Structure 1
Amino acid sequence: MNYLIGVDVGTTSTKAVLYDEQATVLGQAKQGYPLYRDPLGMAEQNPDQLVAAVEKVIHDVAAQADLTNGKLLAVSFSSANQSVILLDEHHQPLTRALTWADTRAKTIAANLRRSPEGKQIYVKTGTPIHPMSPLTKLMWLQKAKPAIWAQTKYVADIKSYLFYQLFGVFKVDVSIASCTGMLNINTGSWDEQALALAKVSAEELPEIVSGTAQEIGLTAQAQEAMGIPRDTPFVYGAFDGALSNLGVGATRKNTVAITIGTSAAVRVATDQPVIDPQQRLFCYAIDNGLWLVGGPLNNGGAVFQWAVEHFVDASAVKNEGIDPYTLANQVIADVPAGAHGLIFNPYLGGERAPLWDANARGSFCGLNNLHTRTDMLRAVMEGINMNIHSVYKAVTNLVGEPKSVTATGGFAKSKVWKQMLANILNCQVEIPDAFESGCLGAITMAMKSLGMIDSLDAVQKFIGKEEVYKPQAAAVSVYQKYQPVFEQIADLMSPAYAKIADLQQMTEDK
């Protein structure tokens, strides 16, 4: 038997999945690491802890393969995007990895977003101007860390740092590069205007390669840590969102993929770059000749987790011996669509698409003395879905109505949530029997790299059965009245978000 390993390098953990040549899952491994945070918006990883985690999960899944009677064909990577690591002249880290979740550049991002230059850069790069963007992170680092900036000779991200540690080469796939806010999506090369703002040169950034490009020849240290053959091909792959789309078969613009985990995202693949005139959406490369249009949302399952912790009756959980999430879903199902006129804007952690406002804050609107905690629970779930619908509308207005919506993520454990999503979108929602879609997408890129398949569309034959949820007319009618009010509230609140954030910061400072 021959094997492939897909690795998903995430914000708080790395996962590896072992597959055979038919993409059957044979084993898996996971290794966590800390995300260092503070009240000022820091969200950093130790890059060497991350490298060690990658080596460990590859070692652990490779140990589940019989390499005496088979061959490890390739290891391929999905990874989080929009990270920044400053390196010295020897490619040693001067900083930890600033992750996508780091918001300390929010003032710089807000000023650039309002400027004509900000719009010019967005149109050329497809990356919304936001503190998550490596472009604005670099602009912030120049001012906040001048001594470290003066020592900086190279600028890496998680993927390029990992491959440097494993192979001694400084390269990155086009997908990760296109998420930096510094890659011109029309030319496929670093954009001079963006580089001038970031005060870096193309020589200080990784060489851009295709996602199907391979590296062979592990360092002795890496080979020993992983316990795999030194000549195993390592395929660069793409960023996690791109490979999540690929892993559920959403490789054409007639299929919208929605992921709802801790955060959420709405994405559709296109064969040409598509730019949103209102700057609500990203346009990133999946690989050469294939792009991804969509919007990431900060506020997904994490908001529902907050609601369950605060609104579920703890005594009922104890007395009935029931999981609080199970109880939450049961009581939500008994509340009519619309939660008796209660609307929740779910911006507990700022928001990326569609607002692109790191200061955005959550709110209940319409509360009266008849509302209960159960109504509030349902309103929270509805608010998360209506926020997703706002991004879904922006995406479909640009690329056209899809034939289907494919949804994945932790939310798929909840039948009431899946049905609610179909009702709010007014579209059939298909839930594939997908396991770690990012890892499946990664090994699909490896198969293409190895010549085992001709097209990434071949992933369709590896995807399991689908569960289907169709919209219910009565609920659809309710949500079509609620959606514009939900969006109106966000617009009305928008001017106050920065002031509210300042008031909260004053409280934290005390």
Structure 2
Amino acid sequence: MSTKYVIAYDLGTTGNKATLYNNEGELKASTFVGYETYYPNINWAEQEPEDWWVAVCQATKELLYKGKVEAKDIACISFSGQMMGCVAVTKETRPVRRAIIWADQRAVKQANDLISKLGQEKIYHITGHRPSPSYSAAKIMWLRDKEEGNFKDIYKVLHAKDFVVARLTGNFVTDYSDASGMNLLDIKQLKWSQEILAAANLQESILPELHASTDVVGYIQKNVADEIGLLAGTPVVIGGGDGSCAAAGAGVIKEGRAYNYVGSSSWIGITTTDPIYDPYMRTFNWVHVIPGLYSPTGTMQAAGASYQWLRDKLCFQEIQKAKEDGVSPYAVMDDEALKVPAGSEKLIYMPYLMGERSPRWNPLARGTLIGLTIKHTRAHIIRAFMEGVAYNLKVILEAFLDQGASIDAIRLIGGGANGKLWPQIMADVYEVPILKGVHQIEATSLGAALTGGVGIGLFPSFDIVEKMFSTQEVVYPNKANSQIYKRLYRIFNDAYNSLEEIFVELGVE
């Protein structure tokens, strides 16, 4: 039997991370194609769907070249993608406007309208998520209220991966995991909630058809085969939202396991057989890509995005040194931060550059530095940014522990897992070991590859991830640092509570 391959695409915030796996679960090639995010207003975030399509086509050809594989050897393709968006398209799969992506917080009024009609608790228990401008429902309502002309042209509202799948197959579909990020899915019944649709005054007809993540939802059409560089008739497996794919790719496929993704945003997730309903609604529930499972999660807005902002706005010297040394600016920034003791000499960063989702659920929250003195340097600020993200994520972790979850270690994936310092800070703040995998950057696309391989029978089950995600390093907590962070973590939470009313005043136009 000849070797067969799965191509998996992860349409993230900064670009498309695509991977090629063989039928033994071995990574043969990977590539990354970036694209732009546009911020036309405060708390707005948009992308061009056509950029995703170009990135998928380019990545496919690069993978075939790098892996020395022919198109006829591709058994299927599958997808992971950024969630909670609003990709409005015509019947011809043409974008009506730029996509409103997950980070966008403009639809505050619309989310409040939903709350006034049904209440936060009811929506939380139906969808597994509190109502928020982060989710697709409020964004669709905003389009209806603010862009009537565009809204009339909508045939379907999709997500990033669904847009590419529709272009490839002609079918307008999504999977349960991505649908669970819309504030519109009944996560127990796995059906669109008629009660919420009625309250939102939206028609079910504009929503895509629901599928399991492992379903073959179509085949590559002849009219796009040459453009993407694959054979017409190649099976397309729908895959899942990036949160749920990340859980699978990190090997969090059984109860008792946890993972932490650090990219532009960051989240902590676990796996359960039933949703976890936090009494304070700090966390939420994705449907897992594995049938019958859920992935309770808490996601913050600006993790890697905070570090990227810091690099671009303040770290010009580090950028220059990185060019001279031929390394990443982040590596130079890490070296600077390593010169500063744990706690950054009582400098605290609150990572709310884009409002906040979990755990605060406050679109008006602002990024803040507290405790800045004349003795602090840029190195202190760099370290404080990493620590502030870790403090914020600990609130999410504690929410799961409060609900009885048992977490002995956390698997770290995403670009933030690469640094020398951030994993140690996380271990010290969380007070549990951090497990770094061999292919941590590819974990999300690995999850997509699993859905594809399992979906067509190329992989026997999701258990193959036990071989595919292997630990290359364990980072243990430093007890002395943990004691420092315990005190600062309390101050971090107290500071947020003290500033909440100030954030409201700053948000008033």
TM-score normalised over the length of structure 1: 0.91
C-alpha deviation, 1:440, in angstroms: 1.1
Q: For 2:337 and 2:69, how far apart are their aligned partners in 1?
A: 50
C-alpha deviation, 1:173, in angstroms: 1.0
Aligned to 2:305: 302
Q: 1:329 to 1:32 in 2, by over 3 A?
A: closer
Q: For 1:388 and 1:225, how far apart are their aligned partners in 2?
A: 41
Per the alignment, in what secondary structure is the counterpart of residue 340 of structure 1?
coil
Aligned to 1:272: 274
Q: For 2:104 and 2:76, how far apart are their aligned partners in 1?
A: 32
Q: For 2:322 and 2:281, how far apart are their aligned partners in 1?
A: 50
Aligned to 1:242: 244
Q: Percent identity?
A: 27
Q: For 2:144 and 2:323, how far apart are their aligned partners in 1?
A: 56
Q: 1:158 to 1:346 in 2, by over 3 A?
A: closer
CA distances 1:359-412 after superposition (whole Å, capped 9, x unpaired): 111222233444343333322221111111111111232251212211122223
Aligned to 1:338: 343
Moved more, 407-416 or 429-438: 407-416
Moved more, 491-500 or 454-463: 454-463
Aligned to 2:102: 100
C-alpha deviation, 1:77, in angstroms: 0.7
Per the alignment, in what secondary structure is the counterpart of residue 56 of structure 1?
helix
Q: For 1:448 and 1:337, how far apart are their aligned partners in 2?
A: 44
Aligned to 1:491: 497
**Any conservation in 2 of the 1:56–1:225 contact (CA below 8 Å)?**
no
Q: 1:87 to 1:341 in 2, by over 3 A?
A: closer
Aligned runs of 1:444-463 on 2, under 5 Å? 444-463=450-469
Q: 1:22 to 1:486 in 2, by over 3 A?
A: same
The one-letter code sitting in structure 2 at the alignment partner of 1:231 is G
**Any conservation in 2 of the 1:17–1:439 contact (CA below 8 Å)?**
yes
2:369 aligned with 1:364 = yes
Q: 1:426 to 1:454 in 2, by over 3 A?
A: same
Unaligned regions of 5+ residues in structure 1, if any?
A: 506-510
Q: For 1:8 and 1:486, how far apart are their aligned partners in 2?
A: 34
CA distances 1:171-204 after superposition (whole Å, capped 9, x unpaired): 2111111111100011110001221133223233
256, 259, 272: which one aligns with 2:258: 256
114, 128, 131: which one aligns with 1:129: 131
Aligned to 2:86: 84
Q: For 1:235 and 1:10, how far apart are their aligned partners in 2?
A: 18
Q: For 2:183 and 2:404, how far apart are their aligned partners in 1?
A: 22
28, 33, 36: which one aligns with 2:35: 33
Per the alignment, in what secondary structure is the counterpart of residue 258 of structure 2?
strand
Aligned to 1:192: 194
Q: For 2:345 and 2:445, how far apart are their aligned partners in 1?
A: 42
Per the alignment, in what secondary structure is the counterpart of residue 279 of structure 2?
coil
Q: For 1:49 and 1:366, how far apart are their aligned partners in 2?
A: 42
The one-letter code sitting in structure 1 at the alignment partner of 2:363 is A
**Any conservation in 2 of the 1:173–1:208 contact (CA below 8 Å)?**
yes
**Any conservation in 1 of the 2:80–2:242 contact (CA below 8 Å)?**
yes
Q: 1:216 to 1:189 in 2, by over 3 A?
A: closer
443, 459, 481: which one aligns with 2:487: 481
Q: For 1:151 and 1:197, how far apart are their aligned partners in 2?
A: 22
Aligned runs of 1:91-240 on 2, under 5 Å? 92-110=94-112, 112-113=114-115, 117-240=119-242
Aligned runs of 1:396-407 on 2, under 5 Å? 396-407=401-412
Q: For 2:70 and 2:319, how far apart are their aligned partners in 1?
A: 55
314, 318, 321: which one aligns with 2:317: 314
C-alpha deviation, 1:76, in angstroms: 1.0
Q: For 1:233 and 1:152, how far apart are their aligned partners in 2?
A: 27
C-alpha deviation, 1:151, in angstroms: 4.0
C-alpha deviation, 1:132, in angstroms: 1.8
Moved more, 16-25 or 82-91: 82-91
Unaligned regions of 5+ residues in structure 2, if any?
A: none
Q: 1:19 to 1:42 in 2, by over 3 A?
A: same
C-alpha deviation, 1:130, in angstroms: 1.9
C-alpha deviation, 1:153, in angstroms: 4.1
Q: 1:441 to 1:343 in 2, by over 3 A?
A: same
Q: For 1:179 and 1:316, how far apart are their aligned partners in 2?
A: 36
Aligned to 1:431: 436
Q: For 1:338 and 1:164, how far apart are their aligned partners in 2?
A: 49
**Any conservation in 1 of the 2:4–2:23 contact (CA below 8 Å)?**
yes
Q: 1:499 to 1:107 in 2, by over 3 A?
A: farther
42, 48, 51: which one aligns with 2:50: 48
The one-letter code sitting in structure 2 at the alignment partner of 1:441 is G
Q: 1:73 to 1:327 in 2, by over 3 A?
A: closer
320, 334, 342: which one aligns with 1:329: 334
Aligned to 1:500: 506
Q: For 1:429 and 1:319, how far apart are their aligned partners in 2?
A: 27
Aligned residues: 503
C-alpha deviation, 1:103, in angstroms: 1.9
C-alpha deviation, 1:309, in angstroms: 5.0
C-alpha deviation, 1:93, in angstroms: 3.5
Q: For 1:317 and 1:63, how far apart are their aligned partners in 2?
A: 33
